[in-house]
Structure 1
Amino acid sequence: MASSYGTDADKTALRAGYLAARRQLPAGLKAESDRAIRTSLFAFDIFNQAPLVLTYVSRGAEVDTSAIVEHVLAQGRAVGAPVVDPTTKELAFYRIEGAGQLVAGYKGILEPDTRVCARIDAAELFGSVCLVPGLVFDAQGHRIGYGGGCYDRFLWHYPGDKIALARIMQISSNPLPIDGFDVPVDFIATEHRVWACR
């Protein structure tokens, strides 16, 4: 599915379509795609130069982030993962040293255990990169996520570079519908390369 359902498709229809397509992705193809996306990301200078990498914790058919976390930590760089405030839907990132520091949080998604992980201060975000999840992206970096708005709230004030991880099937050939509070990503890492948006 290299294109969206057209410029007249709304976010709900697009979200449903891309969720369905992602669920049908064979496990072998998913693993191969994830490896290729990692290869693109690991060759990208902006990613490699960041002392701090913020990342979502992948689940299900999302582009896997566990190997990315291991890679960054092995290089002696810092990794932060998000904790969602269920009331405000705001994200706060906490430093993690590995998967053993993750516990089930908002909607069952793994999050840093705030009893043992330190919260990352706003000043530490300068010079960092943030790996952003999403279901579909367009050439300008606009994205459709899961509908909660958590990442847009965070990205609105985020000072670092925003990098989406996306399979080619998640790139829309049509502009996506956007709202005033949507925040586009700066780069998209795919199986073939990382390309700049806008």
Structure 2
Amino acid sequence: MKKKAEIRKKMKLALKTFDSSDKNQQTQAIMAQFLASDIYQQAQTIAVFMPMTFEFDMTRLLSDTSKRIVIPKTLPQRKMIFTDYDKDALFLTPFGVRESKSDMPVMPDLIIVPGLAWTEDGYRVGYGGGYYDRYLADFTGETASFVYDFQIISTIERNKFDIPVRYIFKV
């Protein structure tokens, strides 16, 4: 079984070198599936991650005016909250991720969980900070991830604190 650090390195490279037309095609297909899904239709407040350039393009959801869109904000001790998304009130963190200037927490009913690799049963390799697993430990809403075809792997080493996502949208 490959170590998470090895998987992270391999997947970051694969994402950074992913053919742009294939990426656009898969992004559109995955987003269409998600927008047609019951979990999207029923959600009122959706937590969306702010992608780095090589990650899944969240533009369609960030501009969705039919839902309340919230984004993660990191706090000390590797904690995280979600705050309202306002494109005019963002700053760049030392990690290179855009976050809200607001400190007002909002509870989503659906979280789009980022990552680098997933198993079919929803376990994932994230970026190693544990922010999402800590948040999801007490979260009772729905979770989903958007996954490109090469990001599904057969097994992942699991820790007791790893929380699987409930829905995987993929091509």
TMscore range, shorter length: over 0.9
Using the TM superposition, give the Cα deviation of residue 82 of structure 1 relative to its aligned residue in structure 2, in angstroms.
0.6
Equivalent of 1:103, from 91, 94, 99?
A: 91
Using the TM superposition, give the Cα deviation of residue 70 of structure 1 relative to its aligned residue in structure 2, in angstroms.
1.0
Matched, 1:56 2:56: no
Q: Which amino acid aligns with 1:57?
A: M
Matched, 1:90 2:71: no
Equivalent of 1:118, from 104, 116, 123?
A: 104
Using the TM superposition, give the Cα deviation of residue 27 of structure 1 relative to its aligned residue in structure 2, in angstroms.
2.0
Using the TM superposition, give the Cα deviation of residue 110 of structure 1 relative to its aligned residue in structure 2, in angstroms.
0.3
Q: What is the CA–CA distance in structure 2 between the aligned matches of 1:131 and 1:66, rounded to whole Å?
A: 13
Q: What is the CA–CA distance in structure 2 between the aligned matches of 1:167 and 1:92, rounded to whole Å?
A: 26
The superposition leaves residues 116-172 of structure 1 with CA deviations (integer Å, 9 ceiling, x where unpaired) of x7321xxx44xx100000100001100001111111111111111110111111111
**Map of 1:184 onto structure 2:** 164
Could you tell me whether the CA contact under 8 Å between 2:52 and 2:96 is conserved in 1?
no
- Percent identical: 24
* 1:28-47 to 2 correspondences below 5 Å: 28-47=21-40
Q: What is the CA–CA distance in structure 1 between the aligned matches of 2:146 and 2:82, rounded to whole Å?
A: 18
Could you tell me whether the CA contact under 8 Å between 1:57 and 1:66 is conserved in 2?
no
Three-state SS of the structure 2 residue aligned to 1:188 is: strand
Could you tell me whether the CA contact under 8 Å between 2:48 and 2:70 is conserved in 1?
yes
Q: Provide structure 1 residue ranges, at least 5 long, that are not aligned to the other structure.
A: 1-7, 192-198
Q: What is the CA–CA distance in structure 1 between the aligned matches of 2:18 and 2:30, rounded to whole Å?
A: 15
**Map of 2:151 onto structure 1:** 170
Q: What is the CA–CA distance in structure 2 between the aligned matches of 1:44 and 1:70, rounded to whole Å?
A: 18
Using the TM superposition, give the Cα deviation of residue 176 of structure 1 relative to its aligned residue in structure 2, in angstroms.
1.2
Three-state SS of the structure 1 residue aligned to 2:73 is: strand
Give the TM-score of the pair, scaled to structure 2: 0.93
Q: Which amino acid aligns with 1:65?
A: M
Q: Which amino acid aligns with 1:110?
A: R
Q: Provide structure 2 residue ranges, at least 5 long, that are not aligned to the other structure.
A: none
Q: What is the CA–CA distance in structure 2 between the aligned matches of 1:91 and 1:13, rounded to whole Å?
A: 25
Could you tell me whether the CA contact under 8 Å between 1:58 and 1:65 is conserved in 2?
yes
Equivalent of 1:147, from 118, 128, 136?
A: 128
Three-state SS of the structure 2 residue aligned to 1:108 is: coil
Three-state SS of the structure 2 residue aligned to 1:57 is: coil
Q: Aligned-residue CA RMSD in angstroms?
A: 1.4
